[in-house]
Amino acid sequence: MAELKSPTIGWIGTGVMGKSMAGRLLESDYNVNIFTRTPAKAEELLNLGAQWNESVKSLAEESDMIITMVGYPSDVEEVYFGEDGLLQNAAEGTYIIDMTTSSPELAVKMDQEASKRKIRVLDAPVSGGDVGAKEGTLSIMVGGEEAAFHDVRFLFDLLGSQTVLQGPAGSGQFTKMCNQIAIASNMMGVSESLVYAEAAGLDPNTVLESISGGAAGSWSLSNLTPRVIKGDLEPGFYVKHFIKDMKIAIESAEKMELNLPGLKLAKQLYDQISADGYANSGTQALYKYYK
Amino acid sequence: MAELKSPTIGWIGTGVMGKSMAGRLLESDYNVNIFTRTPAKAEELLNLGAQWNESVKSLAEESDMIITMVGYPSDVEEVYFGEDGLLQNAAEGTYIIDMTTSSPELAVKMDQEASKRKIRVLDAPVSGGDVGAKEGTLSIMVGGEEAAFHDVRFLFDLLGSQTVLQGPAGSGQFTKMCNQIAIASNMMGVSESLVYAEAAGLDPNTVLESISGGAAGSWSLSNLTPRVIKGDLEPGFYVKHFIKDMKIAIESAEKMELNLPGLKLAKQLYDQISADGYANSGTQALYKYYK
């Protein structure tokens, strides 16, 4: 679609991440069609010039490229499949990018269904949080055909500062799972390190001075532990969303006959704090498991 | 001891770390007395001008400041306590620094015994590995009296680039345990992330491009995972020593009635790979648990 100077972009999903990301497209003067389940959440974007669509079906019919950023794999299924879904209603040649963190197997299924209809689908989940979404500094992990990747690369470049084509359909989701798997066990490590420091009567800030620059160093230790020390459990990333991601990773690992005991344990501990009332806290709330 | 321009430093323990560290004192023209269980390991330092001592006892008698860097808490006990140990034989006013990673409770016991004899003991374990030891860029975590800390600070400054007095006796060891606790669970995270990437058919180097700069980022992910990908299990830090440290941390946590399930699980997995023949590999060999 190199000849298309000003494609119309359809955008589905305007949560914390989706809203900031769609806002960046509007700032760059793209035509943006919006559909989202809760219309009130789209208001800000409509004020910035986005067009409202009444349904997934009408958005599909009126957009050249479509980006979805919804919540759960079940939402992705609903948006893509069925009579009123994207795949049934998008024209041949449409590009559709799912940036939701979702199941790799579902991404493969979407790609297969799309191929039959000459629609190009990419899976492209992100990391970098709300700040990365606002500033366009996300890391974008892409699965799908190389040609389609290059055709929509300009969109990724508006949204992220690090975009890597990881392989065929599903590879973006698989890579995002690698990211979440690494985080899951590390969150136990940083939480346990902090509760141990406190129990030993140490000043946790002084401990961080000694350990955060070395072999124990991590993004979570440098960024989340200071928040916990201050008693700040506000979500950068929600416990409930992290649990969703770990569930996808565990199911996906089981399909590959991989046993990942660290990941499973982390999921159990997060399930516990979710049951204890921290589902809407940030992932640093894992600390509460130990108190 | 500000008046003592050229104190004689006693050094016990010349493993990979101890040898490089003692070498730095010799390079700065300090008089260094050496004792070590395996005399051959001291040879290099003797060639650099160190004096050999036949026993802990004679070293204690002939040194103003003594640094120990041995293997296990049992080695520390042997060197400090008993008829021929440091505490029995060092003169009043001697400074003794244990830089071994050892038990916080043992450090407290050493301090109590030393106080009775007007000897000053500090616990000062390090992180930063063989490279940090060679280059004098260790992170040194110190427990003990502030006055003693300041008196021997010049030695820490020769050995490390980040030295923090963490609190009273035992606090250095407690802080080092915080460091090891954070590493333990993270090693599961980075290992599981890698085996998942491989099982999914991804290129792990390309996955690292996407994930190592963000929220999943850690020293281990950036430094150890590339080694595993290349098949390099050579020790930066030995599995057997890491197991020793986790054992100390678990025992210490139990004394404080803390339950640290991530740490316990990591120890189990490391025990398994140790039994499978990886005790003398680097900690990145945890990957082998999953294969």
pLDDT tens figures, A155-175? 999 999 999 999 999 999 999
pLDDT of the residue at B1? 44
Asked if A196's CB is within 8 angstroms of B178's CB, the reply is yes
Number of CB atoms found within 10 A of residue A15's CB: 18
Return the beta strands (E) in chain A as ranges.
8-12, 31-35, 51-52, 65-68, 95-98, 120-123, 126-127, 138-143, 160-167
Catalytic option among A176, A244, A267, A288 = A176
Q: Which amino acid is present at B97?
A: I
Q: Identify any residues that bridge with B138 across adjacent strands, giving them in sequence order.
A: B160
Tokens of A20: 């900031």
pLDDT tens figures, B149-196? 999 999 999 999 999 999 999 999 999 999 999 999 999 999 999 999
Task: Give the ipTM of the model, two decimals please.
Answer: 0.96
pLDDT of the residue at A6? 84
- Rounded mean pLDDT of chain A? 96
Please give, rounded to a whole number of angstroms, the shortest distance from the CA of B218 to a CA of chain A. 4
Residues of B with a catalytic annotation lie at 176
Give the span between the Cα atoms of A193 and B221, in whole angstroms: 18
Tokens of A169: 């359909």
Give A-chain residues touching B139 at CB under 8 angstroms.
210-211, 213-214
Query: What mean pLDDT do residues A23-33 have?
Result: 96
Give the span between the Cα atoms of B217 and A92, in whole angstroms: 40
Cβ-Cβ pairs closer than 8 A, A with B, add up to 260
Nearest CA in chain B to A171: B202
Between β-strands A51-52 and A31-35, what pairing exists: parallel, antiparallel or unpaired?
A: parallel
pLDDT tens figures, A190-225? 999 999 999 999 999 999 999 999 999 999 999 999
Q: Identify any residues that bridge with B83 across adjacent strands, giving them in sequence order.
A: none
Q: Of A130, A180, A181, which to mutate for an interface test with B (greatest number of B Cβ within 10 Å)?
A: A181
* Closest partner CB to B211 (pick from A175, A194, A260): A175
* Closest partner CB to B262 (pick from A141, A164, A185): A185
Give the span between the Cα atoms of B273 and B271, in whole angstroms: 6
Asked if B262's CB is within 8 angstroms of A207's CB, the reply is no
Asked if B214's CB is within 8 angstroms of A139's CB, the reply is yes
* Closest partner CB to A197 (pick from B127, B178, B193): B178
Asked if B182's CB is within 8 angstroms of A190's CB, the reply is yes
Give the span between the Cα atoms of A9 and A27, in whole angstroms: 13
* Closest partner CB to A213 (pick from B139, B213, B237): B139
Percent of all residues in chain B with a pLDDT value above 70, rounded to a whole number:
98
Give A-chain residues touching B194 at CB under 8 angstroms.
178
Asked if A195's CB is within 8 angstroms of B258's CB, the reply is yes
Of A60, A63, A18, A74, the C-alpha closest to A42 is A18
**Contacts with B50 (C-beta within 8 Å, 6 or more apart), sequence order:** B11, B22, B26, B32, B33, B34, B42
Residue B235 C-alpha from the chain's centroid: 14
Give A-chain residues touching B266 at CB under 8 angstroms.
262
Between β-strands B126-127 and B138-143, what pairing exists: parallel, antiparallel or unpaired?
A: antiparallel
Q: Of A103, A173, A174, A175, which to mutate for an interface test with B (greatest number of B Cβ within 10 Å)?
A: A175
Cβ pair B246, B270 in contact under 8 A: yes
Query: What mean pLDDT do residues A66-73 have?
Result: 96
- Rounded to two decimals, the pTM is 0.96
Please give, rounded to a whole number of angstroms, the shortest distance from the CA of A175 to a CA of chain B. 6
